[in-house]
Chains A and B, each alone.
Chain A
Amino acid sequence: MKCRKCGERAAIELRRHNAAFCVPDFQDFFRKQIREAIRKHRMFTEDEPVLVAVSGGKDSLALWDVLIDEGYRTTGLYLDLGIFDYSVESKARCEAFAARRGVPLIIAAVADEVGAPVPVIKQVTRRPPCSGCGLSKRYLMNRTALQHGFPVVATGHNLDDEAATLFGSVMHWQTDALPRQSPALASTHPKLVRRVKPLYRLSERETAAFAFTRKIDYIVDECPFAKGATSIAHKELLNRMEEASPGAKHNFLFGFLDKARAAFERVEHVELKECARCGQVTTGEICAFCKLAQSVRGAGAPRAPQRAGRGEAATDPSVPGAGA
């Protein structure tokens, strides 16, 4: 298989583009897709500082790598979720990347803000771990950006993430969620920063290939709580469709963004208030994050998850026999 641009031996085939590329031309293609995403959705300008939410995984580190090389003023934000060895290793990857590229990294711990790490939040709330984790991440990303004067947060959500989220929303006809699914969410309140997803045009196989060929040391193992997550099941389904019909994921997501999303935008006005406790934006009196922190602290939750051998508390999925 030959590179479509230079004719040299190809390193990766992109069936949805009916193309194959050598490493240099693939990296060029990858960067162009990000430039196009930023331009098309006016995600940020060269003058704006960008807070890049990084997890230590391939997507966010690949995004950060490109934005640095494109000349943007970036700072990383790593949120320590306290998920056993997974968090220890992913934090180390982010710190090593920031040191190697000479860029600043802000680190915040969910346990310091909520009162307990994600595994304990899961036990206290009795809800899927991704629920409290996602809520905490969105809240802390926005608050950290405000505190440090960033007008925009960039996340590493890729085409597969976005297609799987859309698939889940459509399967349940969550029409409230559909208008919020966008590569760029504008600020609708002085205390809400812009949220952008510059990787939305790139599949996760493409971001993995970019990270690998750039020799970025990212964490390959997935979050131990991701196993069995609905979003993973949706991704597997979509990959089967992609195998049968290359471009299926792209067409599903881009068709929605171009043709359908506007039809679901709300007509009614949603009143945004400031949380009576923390001052962050909410639609109620107390924001969901403060309610979560209250329930965690009210339960007297330990700041560290209990390890195996302690019955109900033993929920580390990496520990054989654990209850998660």
Chain B
Amino acid sequence: MSVKVVLRNPRREVEVAAGRRVKDVLVELEIIPESVLVIRGDELVTADQMVRDDDVLELRPVMSGGRA
């Protein structure tokens, strides 16, 4: 019962336990919800949704910067 999570900058993948909410996954990975889009397939998902076995979640960072 696991979920694959794809992270960016740098790109990497981790496995986390399924059967809980997206917000619990973010807490485990120490990611602030405000800093990412959570994408499953071609859809955005909210923090209260359940992650299921074999789901693939992309946590896409939204931060850009360095601009003067």
Chain A, 5-31, CB within 8 A of any chain B CB: 10-13, 20, 23
A-B CB pair tally, cutoff 8 Å: 95
A1 near B48 with CB under 8 A, answer yes
Stretch at the interface among A43-51, A101-109, A219-227, A253-261: A219-227
On whether A13 and B34 interact (CB within 8 A), knowing A220-B60, A222-B64, A229-B66, the answer reads no
Check if B14 is an interface residue, CB within 8 A of chain A.
no
A240 to B32, CA, bound (A): 7
Whether A131 pairs with B34 at a CB distance below 8 angstroms is no
Is there an interface contact between A20 and B46, defined as CB atoms closer than 8 Å?
yes
Given A133-B68, A239-B34, A240-B32, A232 and B63 touching (CB < 8 A)? yes
B64 near A57 with CB under 8 A, answer: yes
Within B35-68, the residues touching A (CB, 8 Å) are 35-37, 39, 43-49, 60-68
Contact status of A232 and B46, CB under 8 A, knowing A208-B37, A222-B9: no
Q: Is the CB of B68 within 8 A of A204?
A: no
Are A164 and B68 touching (Cβ within 8 A)? no
* Cα(A68)–Cα(B7), bound, Å: 32
| A117–B29 alpha-carbon span in the complex (Å) | 37
Which chain B residue lies CB-closest to A241?
A: B34
Contact indicator A1/B46 (Cβ below 8 Å): yes
The CA-CA distance from A26 to B26 in the complex, in Å, is 23
Q: How far is the CB of B40 from chain A (nearest CB, A)?
A: 11
Interface size class of A (residues with CB under 8 A): 35 or more
Q: Which residues of A contact B37 (CB under 8 A)?
A: 205, 208-209, 212
Q: Given that A222-B9, A239-B34 are contacting pairs, would A134 and B67 also be in contact in the complex, using a CB cutoff of 8 Å?
A: yes
8 A Cβ contacts from A240-277 to B: 240, 242-243
B12 within 8 A of A: no
Given A208-B37, A243-B34, does the pair A130, B67 have CB atoms closer than 8 Å?
Answer: yes
Of chain A, the residue at the smallest CB distance from B63 is A235
Whether A58 lies near B33 (C-beta < 8 A) is no
Given contacts A212-B39, A239-B34, A161 and B67 within 8 Å (CB-CB): yes
Across the interface, which residues of A come within 8 angstroms of B8, CB to CB?
220-221
A-B contact pairs, 14 of them (CB 8 A): A12-B44, A13-B46, A13-B47, A130-B66, A204-B64, A205-B34, A207-B62, A222-B61, A222-B63, A226-B64, A229-B65, A229-B66, A231-B67, A236-B35
Chain A residues in the interface with B (C-beta under 8 A): 1, 10-13, 20, 23, 57-59, 129-131, 133-135, 137, 160-161, 164, 203-205, 207-209, 212-213, 220-223, 225-227, 229, 231-232, 235-236, 239-240, 242-243
Measured CB to CB, the residues of B under 8 A from A are 8-9, 32-37, 39, 43-49, 60-68
For the complex with contacts A11-B44, A204-B63, A231-B66, 8 further pairs of A-B residues with Cβ separation under 8 Å are: A57-B64, A161-B67, A205-B36, A207-B62, A213-B44, A222-B61, A222-B63, A226-B65
Q: Which 9 A-B pairs have the closest CB atoms?
A: A134-B68, A226-B66, A229-B66, A208-B62, A11-B44, A130-B68, A1-B46, A231-B65, A205-B62
